[in-house]
Amino acid sequence: MAKEIKFSLLYRDMWQSSGKYQPRVDQLKQIAPVIIDMGCFARVETNGGAFEQVNLLYGENPNHAVREFTAPFNKAGIQTHMLDRGLNGLRMNPVPSDVRKLMYKVKHAQGVDIPRIFCGLNDPRNIIPSIQYAKEGGMIPQAALCITYSPIHTVDYYVNLADKLIEAGAEEICLKDMAGIGRPYSNGQIIKEIKKRHPKILIQYHGHSGPGFSVASMLEAAYNGVDYIDVAMEPLSWGMVHPDVITIQAMLKDAGFLVPDINMEAYMEARRLTQSFIDDFLGYFIDPSNKTMTSLLVGCGLPGGMMGSMMADLKGMHNAINLALKQNGKKEVSLNNLVVRLFNEVESIWPMLGYPPLVTPFSQYVKNIALMNIFAEAKNEPRFSMIDKDSWNMILGKTGNLPGALAPEIVELAKANKLEFYEGNPQDAFPDELDRFKEEMKTNGWDEGPDQEELFEFAMHERQYRDMKSGAAKNRFNQELEQAKEKAHAPIIVKRPVIEIPMFSFEEITAEYPSAKPVHAPCKGQVLWQYDMMNVSTAPFEGASIKKGDNLCYIQNVYGIEPVPVGYDGVIVGTYANQGKEVQKGEILAFIN
């Protein structure tokens, strides 16, 4: 009898791999019955990852979105699944255990069946607690293996990891090939060995299209016993996203597998609706480069979902790097050349950093270090001289164990900076916090919501939830959309009260202060001078003293507020960004003499 293979539609990840935003709740309600009518999906990915944070960013309550989107699938008998970042929950930084526990109870009540639990480092300590919490919350725990390609990440490595997770209670395994660089044969062998040891465990394969391996990997997965395959659909398939269901269905049917038929009339309607959402507003925030596949990803292994943000970083750093090259008598570089240099640098430093699988947030950390190394080289400074706080946390083991050993020079650099390596369980560093949020909700007169879903959302995304409740998020998004419509894909500056700061040219500063050093933006976002939670902002003044470790200013980005510390004592002699200005990563904010 032919082996049956079922499909899961990645309707959430299709959008996240394409651009910044995802459909509103009214749009999700439109598309859900059409997806059901297609008749070919046993599962649909409805939420998780950045989905709920995105809802909050444009002033929409994510709890309503999840309940409304999952309800039709629940009624139709189609399973729903979500992306769960393990220790990080639904955000980019670690989450206290009491908030993690509450998440599964809330999501089960909202109609989500399966959490796909992953750790960017494949550290079982960050996954196993979530497996237990999911079971207690009434959900089906699916443990994910973050697939990458290195001398460490062998078939045995992944099969042994699967053994530990299954022993801990995982009921399913997912091969999360987030960059699509897992080699097809090896992916097949991983599935074959897991099935041999655990024949009753369901296995799902998830692979991005970016470098072009994913279709071959899906065929190998099928031949070796996979049960579910993740797919996308036009107009958001291929590129940095996922293969289209039509292609995969036809390929597997020809190979003799039992696969469901596709209602093409419904497919075309779902395609039309998705395009209408793009035309409505979502297309203004989709980077065109994410529609293209590239073999350059085979070497560096960066995931497709971060290509848009990476290109924004490169464009922001391009001028700063060329300025530094020019100052030091070196040849300037084109943007295309800079892309190649970045990919090469990632490939070079990845083994030195212990081979962290390049998935959120560790892909961003490795990319940031690589980009700063290129910048340092342009300035005739040593590599690894500009490592940000979050990247150091990864290096020091505060977010989990790195798969490989750090290069001796990285260990020595940590010692030189008087940084200590963390030996404990990552969760232990983040004490419970729910009582604090309960008390504040009571003080504010905010309802905890059905099944405490509002309490959960507040605790998971504190700042974004405040902005949603106050209306600030909706106003900010409306301004952003208005400007995006005026000039598609142009830099977007959200309006804020502007405090003018004296601006000096680079030539004026360096002429008067030859030893002055620039302070660069650590990320893309809006400049906030002396920011506090009450939105009181004042400008620093020329001639103000500042000490090493003090924060010059803050950058507001989509994930929250990023401080900009100064690396040396000195005096502010020039500033380059007014309050509320949108700056790119690497852009000069000020000079310190």
How confident is the model at residue 446, as a pLDDT? 97
Same CATH fold assignment for domains 6-290 and 506-592: no
- Output DSSP code: residue 150: S
Rounded to whole angstroms, the Cα distance separating 417 from 575 reads 28
Are residues 463 and 57 in contact, defined by beta-carbon separation less than 8 angstroms?
Answer: no
Are residues 457 and 465 in contact, defined by beta-carbon separation less than 8 angstroms?
Answer: yes
Dmax of the chain from CA atoms?
A: 82
Tell the residue number behind the tokens 């979530």, with chain if given.
130
How confident is the model at residue 496, as a pLDDT? 34
Are residues 466 and 476 in contact, defined by beta-carbon separation less than 8 angstroms?
Answer: no
How confident is the model at residue 216, as a pLDDT? 98
Judge if the upstream peptide bond of residue 235 is cis by omega within 30 degrees of 0.
yes
Are residues 558 and 360 in contact, defined by beta-carbon separation less than 8 angstroms?
Answer: no
Q: Long-range contacts: 249-258, Cβ < 8 Å, 24+?
A: 249/7, 249/40, 251/215, 251/218, 251/219, 252/5, 252/218, 252/219, 252/222, 255/219, 255/222, 255/223, 256/2, 257/2, 257/3, 257/4, 257/5, 257/222, 258/1, 258/2, 258/3, 258/4, 258/5
pTM, entire model: 0.82
- Output DSSP code: residue 179: T
Collapsed DSSP state (helix, strand, coil) of residue 592: strand
CATH class in words for 506-592: mainly beta
Amino acid at 482: E
Rounded to whole angstroms, the Cα distance separating 457 from 559 reads 14
Rounded to whole angstroms, the Cα distance separating 375 from 360 reads 23
Rounded to whole angstroms, the Cα distance separating 355 from 230 reads 26
* Among candidate residues 153, 142, 231, the one with its CA nearest the CA of residue 190: 153
Q: List the chain pLDDT tens, one digit each, 593 residues.
A: 799 999 999 999 999 888 888 999 999 999 999 999 999 999 999 999 888 988 998 899 999 999 999 999 999 999 999 999 999 999 988 999 999 999 999 999 999 999 999 999 999 999 999 999 999 999 999 999 999 999 999 999 999 999 999 999 999 999 999 989 999 999 999 999 999 999 999 999 999 999 999 999 999 999 999 999 999 999 999 998 999 999 999 999 999 999 999 999 999 999 999 999 999 999 988 877 778 888 878 877 777 666 656 766 777 778 888 888 888 889 998 888 888 888 899 999 999 999 998 888 888 889 889 988 998 899 898 999 888 888 898 999 999 999 999 999 999 999 999 999 999 999 998 999 999 999 999 999 999 999 999 999 999 999 899 999 999 889 988 988 888 887 664 443 333 333 334 444 555 555 566 667 778 888 777 777 654 433 333 445 556 778 887 888 888 765 566 778 887 788 887 777 766 677 877 778 888 87
Q: Which sequence spans correspond to the domains of the chain? A: 6-290, 294-428, 431-486, 506-592
∠ CA 350-371-427, nearest 5°, is: 55
DSSP 77-138: T-EEEEEE-GGGTTSSS---HHHHHHHHHHHHHTT--EEEE--TT--HHHHHHHHHHHHHTT
Are residues 577 and 583 in contact, defined by beta-carbon separation less than 8 angstroms?
Answer: yes
CA distances to 42, 217, 230, 533 from 222, rounded to whole Å, are 16, 9, 12, 52
Are residues 123 and 92 in contact, defined by beta-carbon separation less than 8 angstroms?
Answer: no
**Backbone angle region of 282, left / alpha / beta, with phi > 0 → left and psi within -120 to 50 → alpha:** alpha
Collapsed DSSP state (helix, strand, coil) of residue 2: coil
Residues 6+ apart with CB under 8 A from 582: 491, 492, 493, 494, 524, 525, 526
> What superfamily would CATH give domain 6-290?
Aldolase class I (3.20.20.70)
- Nearest-10 crossing angle of helices 453-460, 97-109: 140
Nearest 5°: phi and psi at 551?
Answer: -90, 120
